Amino acid sequence: MIELDWYLGLSAVLFTIGVIGVLTRKNAIVIFMCAELMLNSVNLTLVSFSAQLGDVHGQILVFFSLCVAAAEAAVGLAIIIAIFRNHLTVDITKINLLRW
Amino acid sequence: MEIYFFILFATLAVASAVGMILSRDTVNSALFLVLNLVSVAGIFLLLKAQFLAVIQVLVYGGAIMVLFLFVIMLLNLNSEENMLSRFSVKYAVAFFLGVIILSMLVYAIASATGTLPYISPEMEQVGTVEALGDALYTTYMLPVLATAVLLTAAVVGAILLAQRKYRKVK
């Protein structure tokens, strides 16, 4: 049997890779995918706790987080398309819409 | 046997995640993310969460990633000339933030898992479609309906945002 620590450690490593990706990459779509990676690693944490405690509620939470991720991907990609139409780039260092 | 599968899936997941943030081509990034999602689905199977493993492959690996690939190919992005940001300060900040977050997570895990039970006897029945559906459609009825509203709102919002012409608002 594998200890719970290994699952949680794997999840922590995946989350950290996602954070590093969000902080270093410039392409908005890749940043979005890194956010999905972080969501996914949190899902892994929820599932491993759920399996360890014999409780179904963690997996229900993963179900809802999947739904939120789907909605977020739809709206976020639509925003990226709208930005691309106006600026012809998805490079976040060249987009200053929210800068005052 | 289980430990070998865990090592295989964990190595695959970490390697594909690293490949995702390092690859120059956006399409390659998306395909690496698909590999990552599939290997995490394998880990879900090891944790006896069968339904979630199937959902992971279908919804994440199928639907969401197809959406990503569609957008990448629609925008016809060529690979970035200089992939990472210009400022080297940013590398340092990202690196230190990453180290801090990783050490915080590892510390939290190490301090928390000492008290947890090793294995639970009800684990076998937890991950099935029956158990999940039972909880979803009794205890979590209202959140499921709220999810339906959320997804409808997201679809409407995405259509409005991606429309070619905006109607002027007075």
Averaged pLDDT for residues B38-51: 89
The contacts of residue B169 (CB under 8 Å, 6+ apart) are none
According to the model, what pLDDT value does residue A64 have?
Answer: 92
Q: d(Cα A40, Cα B39) in Å, to the nearest integer?
A: 11
Task: Give contacts of B117 with chain A, Cβ < 8 Å.
Answer: 52-53
Q: d(Cα B21, Cα B111) in Å, to the nearest integer?
A: 30
**Residues A50-87 pLDDT 10s:** 888 888 888 899 999 999 999 999 999 998 888 888 88
According to the model, what pLDDT value does residue B41 have?
Answer: 92
According to the model, what pLDDT value does residue B168 have?
Answer: 58
Task: Give contacts of A46 with chain B, Cβ < 8 Å.
Answer: none
Across the interface, of B64, B106, B113, the residue whose CB is closest to A69 is: B64
A–B interface: beta-carbon pairs under 8 A: 233
Q: Is the pTM value of this prediction over 0.90?
A: no
Q: Where are the beta strands (DSSP E) in chain B?
A: none
According to the model, what pLDDT value does residue B85 have?
Answer: 56
Structure token pair of residue B95: 């690196």
According to the model, what pLDDT value does residue B72 have?
Answer: 85
* Distance to chain A for B161, nearest Cα, Å: 6
Largest pairwise CA distance in chain A: 55
Q: d(Cα B34, Cα A61) in Å, to the nearest integer?
A: 22
* Distance to chain B for A57, nearest Cα, Å: 8
Summary mean pLDDT of chain B: 81
SS (H, E, C) B125-151: HHCCHHHHHHHHCCCCHHHHHHHHHHH
Residue B110 and residue A3: Cβ atoms within 8 Å? no
Q: What percent of chain B has pLDDT over 90?
A: 24
Q: What are the percentages of helix, strand and coil residues in chain A, rounded to 5?
A: 80, 5, 20
A26 touches chain B (CB under 8 A): yes
Q: d(Cα B168, Cα B170) in Å, to the nearest integer?
A: 6
